[in-house]
């Protein structure tokens, strides 16, 4: 029996000719990632184990992004601990204020992950890098510590689900709408500990930002990882960027998949996930005339804080005003995205519409800072999770959507089809 893309990467890094679903393996790592919340825990484990060195100071990345710039004393102490560790072991990929960005946008941008790499990160959305043909997955801080010491970790080889994307999506349909549709279809445990592998001619209509968004939210379906095949769009993105040697893996024709789903992108409609799970997906048509009033709009995060996301929001907000009583917060994912958006005049559009622009940070996505919700408040957000209390008070609500839907909703004050604003 042949192997999937994910299985081939795992086999190569384990030094094996083949692997099969359910097999336990030990594999060499190309990148170990931590942030300002998870790295301190890993550092404590590292120190408790009396380790004296890291396996490779070029293959560890530590990104200060969750509560950074620091929101309180505890956050400041956490960053100080990581800063000291990075200095002691000369961690080459340490990103602090001034250089930092949201980790899952920053690592691809900096060329630290690419086709064929095997990456673990002490953050569940590490699965993002599958958009570039990598096998990447989230782990606990203890596994991060072990990875920093040994350069290896163990895996149970996942089985896989095949998603065939066909046809061209309509205007205002983005990677976010596609992944929310899929999670709505299979559920938040529909891909539990399995690979979500994407194929089909519809992929050519998805830019890298769309693919990063889709892979990012594979974990919201319970997946071990999400992965796309490498094509010319991938190659163009990594050109003069990726610091490693790209290796392109394709699934064998006789690779085994637990299920196969065909998604006709041309039939999809803008989609919103209602509280309190990403699987509670509804199209703007299903919402109909019901006015779901919002108090806040957040456009950013490791899911949708890239330049194409900000452009999509600007296209809606240009010449418009944020509705009275709505707070609209725009968060570029990295310093590079921030500069590009600023130079393109997107900040003018946002600020003239009545929005605010933040420094790169995870911020409100995890209820950290820069936009916490009070009791009874509702937010429409381009982030990736909407469970109870995710962005603030346990009696607040989060509605997940694309940048276009979020921006349109900020203008009207209730969840809105972007075509109703963008066509004006």
CA separation for the pair 391, 371 (Å, rounded): 8
Sign of CA dihedral 96, 129, 59, 42: positive
- Identify the domain boundary among 263, 285, 301: 263
Do 157 and 245 share a domain, yes or no?
yes
SS (H, E, C) 335-348: HHHHHHHHHCCHHH
Do 69 and 210 share a domain, yes or no?
yes
User: How are strands ordered across the β-sheet holding 135-138?
Assistant: 93-95, 60-63, 31-35, 118-121, 135-138
Q: What is the CA radius of gyration of the chain?
A: 21
What is each CA distance from 395 to 276, 309, 361, 376, 400, in whole angstroms?
11, 29, 24, 5, 16
Do 141 and 95 share a domain, yes or no?
yes
> DSSP of 105-162, one letter per residue?
HHHHHTT-S-TT-EEEESSGGGGGGGGGT-EEEE--HHHHHHHHHHSEEEEEPPEEEE
Do 162 and 131 share a domain, yes or no?
yes
CATH number for the domain harbouring residue 328: 3.30.499.10
- Identify the domain boundary among 263, 279, 305: 263
- Identify the domain boundary among 238, 263, 288: 263
Strand segments, DSSP code E, in 194-240 are 194-199, 225-227
Q: Which pLDDT value is given to residue 388?
A: 86
CA separation for the pair 192, 190 (Å, rounded): 6
Do 161 and 26 share a domain, yes or no?
yes
Q: Which pLDDT value is given to residue 422?
A: 64
Bridge partners of 392, per DSSP, are: 373
The Cβ of residue 254 has, within 10 Å, a number of other Cβ atoms equal to: 8
Do 287 and 223 share a domain, yes or no?
no
**Domain around 414:** 271-422
Buried b (16+ CB within 10 A) or exposed e, 3-34: bbbbbbbbbbbbeeeebebeeebebebbbbbb
Three-state secondary structure call for residue 199: strand
Domains in the chain: how many in total? 2
Do 241 and 388 share a domain, yes or no?
no
Do 187 and 297 share a domain, yes or no?
no
CA separation for the pair 102, 333 (Å, rounded): 5
Three-state secondary structure call for residue 372: coil
CA separation for the pair 193, 145 (Å, rounded): 22
Do 51 and 16 share a domain, yes or no?
yes
Half-sphere exposure of 127 (CA within 13 A, CB side): 28
pLDDT tens string for the chain (424 positions)? 799 999 999 999 999 999 999 999 999 999 999 999 999 999 999 999 888 899 999 999 999 999 989 999 999 999 999 999 999 999 999 999 988 899 999 999 999 999 999 999 999 999 999 999 999 999 999 999 999 999 999 999 999 999 999 999 999 999 999 999 999 999 999 999 999 999 999 999 999 999 999 999 999 999 999 999 999 999 999 999 998 899 999 999 999 999 999 999 999 999 999 999 999 999 999 887 678 999 999 999 999 999 999 999 999 999 999 999 999 999 999 999 999 999 999 999 999 999 999 999 998 888 888 889 999 999 999 999 999 889 899 999 999 999 999 999 999 999 999 998 865 4
Do 203 and 321 share a domain, yes or no?
no
User: Omega into 69 within 30° of 0, i.e. cis?
Assistant: yes
Q: Which pLDDT value is given to residue 386?
A: 93
Q: Which pLDDT value is given to residue 317?
A: 97
Do 242 and 344 share a domain, yes or no?
no
pTM for the full model? Answer: 0.94
CA separation for the pair 380, 415 (Å, rounded): 8
Do 334 and 201 share a domain, yes or no?
no
* Selection from 190, 194, 350, 171 nearest residue 269 by Cα: 171
Buried b (16+ CB within 10 A) or exposed e, 188-199: bebbeebbbbbb
Read off the tokens for 36.
Answer: 């300002």
Q: Find the Cα–Cα–Cα–Cα dihedral 42, 83, 152, 46, rounded to 10°.
A: -40
Whether the CB-CB separation of 411 and 321 falls below 8 Å is answered with: yes
């Amino acid at each position: 029996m042949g192997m999937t893309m994910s299985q081939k990467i795992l086999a190569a890094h384990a030094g094996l000719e083949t692997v099969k679903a359910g097999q336990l393996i030990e594999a060499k790592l190309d990148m170990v990632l931590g942030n300002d919340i998870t790295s301190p825990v890993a550092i404590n484990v590292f120190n408790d184990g009396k380790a004296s060195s890291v396996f490779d100071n070029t293959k560890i990345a530590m990104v200060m992004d969750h509560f950074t710039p620091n929101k309180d004393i505890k956050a400041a102490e956490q960053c100080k601990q990581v800063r000291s560790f990075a200095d002691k072991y000369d961690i080459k990929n340490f990103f602090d204020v001034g250089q930092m960005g949201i980790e899952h946008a920053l690592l691809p941008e900096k060329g630290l992950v690419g086709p064929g790499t095997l990456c673990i990160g002490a953050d569940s959305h590490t699965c993002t890098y599958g958009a570039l043909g990598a096998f990447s997955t989230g782990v606990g801080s203890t596994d991060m510590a072990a990875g920093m010491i040994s350069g290896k970790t163990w895996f149970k080889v996942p089985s896989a689900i095949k998603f065939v994307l066909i046809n061209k999506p309509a205007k205002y349909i983005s990677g976010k709408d596609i992944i929310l549709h899929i999670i709505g279809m299979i559920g938040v445990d529909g891909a539990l500990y399995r690979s979500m592998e994407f194929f089909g001619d519809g992929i050519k209509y998805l830019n890298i930002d769309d693919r990063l968004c889709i892979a990012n939210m594979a974990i919201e379906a319970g997946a071990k990882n999400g992965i796309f095949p490498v094509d010319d769009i991938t190659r163009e993105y990594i050109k003069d960027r990726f610091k490693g040697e790209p290796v392109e893996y394709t699934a064998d024709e006789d690779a085994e998949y637990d299920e196969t789903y065909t998604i006709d992108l041309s039939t999809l409609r803008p989609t919103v996930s209602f509280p309190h799970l990403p699987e509670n997906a509804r199209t703007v048509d299903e919402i109909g005339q019901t006015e779901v009033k919002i108090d806040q709009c957040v456009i950013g995060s490791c899911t949708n804080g890239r330049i194409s996301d900000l452009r999509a929001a600007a296209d809606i907000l240009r010449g418009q005003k944020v509705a009275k009583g709505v707070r609209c917060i725009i968060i570029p994912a990295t310093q590079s995205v921030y500069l590009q958006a600023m130079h393109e005049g997107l900040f003018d559009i946002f600020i003239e519409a009545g929005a605010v622009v933040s420094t790169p940070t995870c911020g409100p996505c995890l209820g950290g800072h820069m936009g916490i919700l009070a009791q009874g408040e509702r937010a429409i957000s381009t982030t990736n999770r909407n469970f109870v209390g995710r962005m603030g008070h346990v009696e607040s609500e989060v509605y997940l959507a694309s940048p276009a839907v979020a921006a349109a909703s900020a203008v009207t004050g209730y969840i809105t089809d972007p075509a109703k604003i963008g066509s004006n």
